[in-house]
Amino acid sequence: MNDPIRSLRRLVSAMALAGICQLAAAAPGIPGAPAPFDKGGVKVALVAYLSAGDFYQAYQAGALQQAKALGIDLRIYPGRQDAAEQRNQIEQAINQKVDAIIVDHGLPEALKDVAQKALDAGIKVVAFDVNLDNPKVPQVEQSDHVIARKALEQAVAENGTGFKAGYVYVAGFAPLDRRNEVWTAFKQQHAGVAEKARFGVVNGTTAASVADQAKAALRAHPDIGVVFAPYDEFARGVKLAARELGLSGKLRIYSADVSTADIQEITEPGSPWVATVATNPAVIGAVTVRTAALSIAGQDPGRRVVVEPVLLTQKQLREAGVKTVEELSAKLPAFGKSEAATAPWMRNASR
């Protein structure tokens, strides 16, 4: 006879294996927490636009860990860089009557109406790094202006106020657009900085695609000495291009984001990737889940929930002998933990 529970378990495992969704197992309620967390059984969907890259893996791991601690059944849907798929997955989450939907990146015009549809169905919506332009949707972000400003201040500290630059940018992604505002103002303030080449692409293989573009740009403009690449996949691509062209010794790359693999790339001998400005992506994942939890509990997380980044230079990382994000978190408490979107009832359940 067909056992429906076993069939359901098989289906969920098959979906997880196929990358259709990941689940954080539900836990019992939290004593003293507001409803519905006192009883448990809270369901949240995290619908991501970008599914490739270190940042998102660490972000999702942090979200799953925080969800588990709060007794949330978190379902992760990988949008696979496809706006239609992400929309479709939000529709699925609405149909499953989840308590909240976290919209993680994406193209705003493809998402605004479907986010409103979720709100109309009584589902809380939280946005991470996508501007849904809706006062009912709290926005989690990493203070992108600070990320860009600190990276560019470091570029000036190491290269002076006159240099030929390459710039990696793709319009339409909220964090990149905010970082671009700072780059635009920076060029106006520094007449000696010349943007010689601009390129960029965001897809399922961003680093490899950017490497191809960077090779063409560096060949066409051999005088480029600095590349501002404010996304770690961009920086990896430029670094790859520099190595293949034998230019690692005459190029300096300034980026955003960090992962254990990035630390290895930054600190390896002869690396042109000299600085990055970053939050801990696992912390951002946790903060996003807590923002959704506050909304579900009827506790206003505020319109903007911001996690501040830190500057990480190649020199500091080498001197400190830091090899992993975990070691970095242990050395820099401001990097390893955030007080954003917390409440007393979460005290023993926050990262």
Q: Per CB under 6 A, does 257 bind ligand SR1?
A: yes
Give Cβ neighbours of residue 219 (< 8 Å, ≥ 6 apart): 245
Taking the mean position of all CA atoms in its chain, how far away is CA 63?
11
Of residues 42 and 168, the one with the C-beta less far from ligand SR1:
168
Say whether residue 129 binds ligand SR1 (CB under 6 A): yes
Interaction of residue 256 with ligand SR1, rule CB under 6 A:
yes
In the list 47, 202, 242, 328, the residue contacting ligand SR1 (rule: CB under 6 A) is: 202
Binding flag, residue 99, ligand SR1 (CB under 6 A): no
Number of residues counted as binding ligand SR1 (CB under 6 A):
10
Report yes or no: 252 and 274 within 8 Å, Cβ to Cβ: yes
Site string for ligand SR1, 258-297 (x = CB under 6 A): ----------------------------------------
Pairing of strands 72-78, 22-23: antiparallel
Nearest Cα residue to 280 out of 208, 232, 316, 319: 232
Phi-psi region of 141 (alpha: psi -120 to 50; beta: other; left: phi over 0): beta
- Applying CB under 6 A, among 176, 193, 247, 349 the residue interacting with ligand SR1 is 176
Binding positions for ligand SR1, 51-80, rule CB under 6 A:
55
- Residue 115 CA to residue 46 CA, distance in Å, equals 13
Residue with tokens 């657009």: 177
Cα R_g (the chain), whole angstroms: 21
Residues 310-349 that bind ligand SR1 (CB under 6 A): none
For position 175 contacting ligand SR1 by CB under 6 A, the verdict is: yes
Query: Does 235 engage in binding with ligand SR1 (CB under 6 A)?
Result: no
Alpha-carbon span 308 to 116, nearest angstrom: 29
Chain residues in the site for ligand SR1 (CB under 6 A): 55, 129, 142, 173, 175-176, 202, 231, 256-257
